[in-house]
Amino acid sequence: MKPSHLLAVHEIAAGDVTALLDRADRLKARRRSGGGDRPLAGKTLGLFFEKSSTRTRVSFETAMNQLGGNSLFLSLQDLQLKRGESIADTARVLSRYLDAIVIRTFGHDLLEEWAAAAAIPVINGLTDLHHPCQALGDLMTIRERFGTLKGLKLAYIGDGNNVAHSLIEAAAKTGIEIHLACPKGFEPDPLIVAASRIVAKQTGGTIEIGREPAKAAEDADVLYTDVWISMGQEKQAKAKLKKFKPYQINDTLLSVAKPSAVVMHCLPAHRGMEITADVLDGKQSVIWDQAENRLHIQKAILEWLLG
Ligand code: CP
Ligand code: NVA
């Protein structure tokens, strides 16, 4: 059966996750050797973003281009949505022109409104709750490094946010042991954790949530962090910064992980805050591969939804 939308990792069957990773690896290799098919010729992808983006926007537009299709960037400034046209009406109309649409918005309920009314696949380009394309690209990067996912220990240090939620769901699907260290009051959504624990039971994964970065990072294969202040949280910055100070990936924290550990960050990064410049730019960082892999995994996603 064709999937209609990609809103969150938990909605994707485990077999489809593996198929997407395998396809993304092949697409990456083919790109490296200068080849590539154009299976999406004649198709148009819309991108409606209510928040800033470098990676998601550019990688999706480039992905569409490399697959032979076109993309159209739509900002809130330009659409009648700004003047009160409803999401449902906008989604219905855009479905008559476009073949799929990537949405980056605030509440996940807004994304669900788009998906309920659209007759074309809706892809989550980040909401306050989930960032599935990031997590799928992250699985690709981890598997590329270690050759496997099952049984690896991933330590996520910092905010229990959208990126953390999608990583938890991705870890649960693939048997990764994920350990989070979050300040009090900034733990991941308990509903997402509970549902993911049920999935993890079947795959051999585990989900641990604590307060101690060093405990989470001990013997980890992957250290992962994200910004302390997500888009839309600017007003909370002052209060948050104080609480997050001990949750930094630095040389000391890296020294308790396995010597073979890699460091990941979805970017954009703030050197000196959630990660030190030494670690971000150091030899254990796979952060630039991680950013590149967004392109390859999203080509696989586009083929899967539109091909
Ligand atoms: N990681 C990520 O989604 O980056 P952008 O906000 O630049 O798209
Ligand atoms: N948690 C961050 C991720 C940015 C890609 C945010 O939502 O701003």
Tell me what the pLDDT averaged over the chain comes to. 97
- Active-site residue, selected from the candidate residues 10, 99, 134, 138: 134
Q: What is the pLDDT of residue 3?
A: 53
CATH code of the region 134-290: 3.40.50.1370
Asked if 55 is an active-site residue, the reply is no
Q: What residues flank ligand 2, with Cβ below 6 Å? A: 126, 161-163, 226-227, 230-231, 266
Average pLDDT for 242-265: 98
- Residue nearest ligand 1's atom 3 by CA: 56
94 alpha carbon to ligand 2 midpoint, in Å?
26
Asked if 134 is an active-site residue, the reply is yes
Q: Provide the whole-model pTM.
A: 0.98
For domain 9-130+293-306, the question of CATH label 3.40.640.10 is answered with no
Average pLDDT for 273-300: 98
Asked if 236 is an active-site residue, the reply is no
Residue 2 pLDDT greater than 80, yes or no: no
Q: How confident is the model at residue 35 (pLDDT cuts 50, 70, 90)?
A: confident
Task: Please write the tens of the pLDDT for every residue from 37-50.
Answer: 899 999 999 999 99
- Active-site residue, selected from the candidate residues 23, 104, 130, 296: 104
Q: Where are the domains of the chain?
A: 9-130+293-306, 134-290
Q: How confident is the model at residue 127 (pLDDT cuts 50, 70, 90)?
A: very high
Q: What percent of the chain has pLDDT over 90?
A: 96
Residue 36 pLDDT greater than 90, yes or no: no
Asked if 32 is an active-site residue, the reply is no
Residue 1 pLDDT greater than 70, yes or no: no
Task: Please write the tens of the pLDDT for every residue from 160-215.
Answer: 999 999 999 999 999 999 999 999 999 999 999 999 999 999 999 999 999 999 99
Q: Same CATH topology for 9-130+293-306 and 134-290?
A: yes
Q: What is the pLDDT of residue 37?
A: 87
Q: What is the pLDDT of residue 51?
A: 97
Q: What residues flank ligand 1, with Cβ below 6 Å? A: 53-56, 126, 134, 266-268
CA distances to 87, 156, 262 from 222, rounded to whole Å, are 39, 8, 5
